[in-house]
Structures are given as structure tokens and as C-alpha cells.
Amino acid sequence: MSEFFKLVIVTLTAVLTTGFDCGQSSAQNSQDESKSDAEQALIEKWKVIYDDFIDSIVLSHSSKNSDSTQSADHTELKRQTLLSIESPLRHGKVYLWTDRGRPIVIGAIFSAPVETMPARSLGVRFNSLTAGSVTGSRSDNVFWKCDDPGAKWIDGLTDLVPSNSRATRLIQMKSIVRQFECNYVKMRPDLLPHPLFRYPENTPGATDGAIFSFCKGTDPKVYLQIEAREDRWFMACYRDDIMDTTICIGDNVLWSFDIVAKPDRFQTEPFYFNYTSER
């Protein structure tokens, strides 16, 4: 065979092979894009459910008086969205309920696959951030009535004195929370660099404050709340997952949360968790 024909055969083979590979690559990319579009379409459908569900929830609280007795009046709380949850298993939204700017309840509405249920299910989680009582109801049915303090504050974790400058206090808060590590099951969630929520000026009972979060992606596992009161910083911690979790500085464990058993429909603990049968 002449060298000319050999060259022609090699060239044709290379072209055909390249075309086949490109076809495979194009088909794979198309499949990946299709899958991504399908997943995004599912997320968009669930967003409607999250919004409808959260609109049906009414949360209220009563504060404690100076004599440690409970106030008889329950105040309905103001809601805002803090974060969109996006992870391989869960997607949803994180919400905060406040009273005159002060955080009272933080919670997540999300969907996730559940082994005991035939399809993706709606999950709800709430944390009381107050020393007073919290009541949650839906369609006039009370599902959560917590009279125990949700916030268990610790001070003395830093020698920093809160600055007179609001801008500097934010730098101080970021510096303080960076000392902490979160151990969740067999992984370490990342601390988001910016707070999910910053106290507005003139918040009752605090000079300043913020809520930070340890997340897997944007899926919260732990919330850290920090407050400046006069010349000291106070901190509290809350879970947003049912698995074993610890929060520490070095070898010093400051907060730990055990795995949560199967929940009841009506609950009275500061941490509320449940799945619904809604799709």
C-alpha cells in the first residue's frame, strides 16, 4: 500500500474516532444539563411548598418579667428569610422570627429523602432563642409549646471588651466565633464567614449581636449566637440537625448535642423537629 493511502486511512480513522468521542461527550453533557434542569425544576416546585407552609405557621412568645414570672401576653413574631439551603440531600430555607429586632426563634423548612417514607418529605426544625415561652401553631392547632429557656448563655470565653464602634464590634464578633470548631458525625462543617443575622441598633437587652452558622455547603448544622452586653460578650449555641454534634475550642467541649429520637407531633423542648406527610 502506498504511503499516500496509508496517510488517508490514518486520517479518516482519527476523524471518525474524534467524532465518536465528541458525540459521546456531547450526549453526556446534554444528559448532565438535563439532569440539572430536572433537579432545578424540583427545587422550584418545593420552594412554593416552603413558602405556603411557612405562611401557615404562627409563632408567638411571652417574655419573663423581672421577678422571673411569665408574662401573660403573647406577642406574634416578625419573620424574615436568612438563607437558602442547598446540599445533595436537603434543600429549603432558613427563617428567623424577631420581636423588636431581638431574635426569638430560628428555624428551617426543607425537603429531604426519608427512609421510612416513600418519597421526598417536608421537614421542619425550630429553635427557641429566648428565656421566655414560645408557642407554634398551624391552622389553630398548637404543635409546639416550650416554656423552658432556649438560650443558655455563656460568658468569659473572650477577654475582648465590646468596642464603642458598631463596625469594630462586627470585626470582634467574627474574630471570636472563628475560635470554635464544630464536629458533626464524622465531618467538620465550615463556619460561614459572615453572620446570617446582625442585631439592628437599639435592640432591647443588647448593645450588639449576631447569629453565625456552621454549614455543610449552605446546609446549617449549628447556630452560634453572640451578644454584647455592656463590657462583656455572651454566647449561646443551637443545633439544626438531629445527629451527634459537639462545639469546642481546642479540646474544650462547650456544647454537645445527642442524636434525637423519633419525634412526636406535639413537642415542648426548645428544639422542635418533625417530618410531615406533605409532598
Q: 70 pairs with which residues across the strands?
A: 64
129 phi and psi angles, rounded to 5 deg? -110, 20
Query: Could you tell me which residue, 119 or 91, shows the higher pLDDT?
Result: 91
Grid cell locating 247: 462545639
> Rounded to an integer, what distance in angstroms lies between the CA atom of residue 241 and that of residue 185?
11
Mean pLDDT of 1-15: 38
> Rounded to an integer, what distance in angstroms lies between the CA atom of residue 108 and that of residue 15?
54
> Rounded to an integer, what distance in angstroms lies between the CA atom of residue 71 and that of residue 65?
6
Res 117: pLDDT = 61
Count the Cβ atoms, other than its own, within 10 Å of residue 183.
Answer: 18
Mean pLDDT of 266-274: 92
Of 224, 178, 226, 176, residue with least CA distance to 206:
226
Judgement on whether residues 115 and 138 belong to the same structural domain of the protein: yes
Last residue of a domain, one of 39, 55, 71: 55
Structural domain harbouring 25: 1-55
Judgement on whether residues 77 and 187 belong to the same structural domain of the protein: yes
> Rounded to an integer, what distance in angstroms lies between the CA atom of residue 128 and that of residue 130?
6
Judgement on whether residues 148 and 73 belong to the same structural domain of the protein: yes
List the alpha helices (DSSP H) in the chain: 3-55, 166-177
Confidence band (pLDDT; 50, 70, 90) for 276?
Answer: confident
DSSP 252-274: EEEEEEPPPPPPPSSB-SSEEEE
Last residue of a domain, one of 36, 55, 74: 55
pLDDT(252) > 70 = yes
Judgement on whether residues 146 and 220 belong to the same structural domain of the protein: yes
pLDDT(42) > 90 = no
- The whole-angstrom distance between residue 3's C-alpha and the CA centroid of its chain comes to 68
Of 134, 100, 127, residue with least CA distance to 205:
100
Res 97: pLDDT = 96
Judgement on whether residues 6 and 139 belong to the same structural domain of the protein: no
Count the Cβ atoms, other than its own, within 10 Å of residue 176.
Answer: 17
Is the backbone of residue 169 left (phi > 0), alpha (psi -120 to 50) or beta?
A: alpha
Judgement on whether residues 143 and 231 belong to the same structural domain of the protein: yes
N-terminal to C-terminal alpha carbon distance within the chain:
69
Mean pLDDT of 207-217: 95
> Rounded to an integer, what distance in angstroms lies between the CA atom of residue 61 and that of residue 238?
18
Judgement on whether residues 82 and 96 belong to the same structural domain of the protein: yes
Grid cell locating 237: 449555641
* Lowest-confidence region among 87-91, 124-128, 178-182, 249-253: 87-91
Judgement on whether residues 45 and 60 belong to the same structural domain of the protein: no
Q: 182 pairs with which residues across the strands?
A: 247
For the chain, what is the domain count? 2
> Rounded to an integer, what distance in angstroms lies between the CA atom of residue 279 and that of residue 93?
16
Mean pLDDT of 45-49: 84
State pTM to two decimals: 0.81
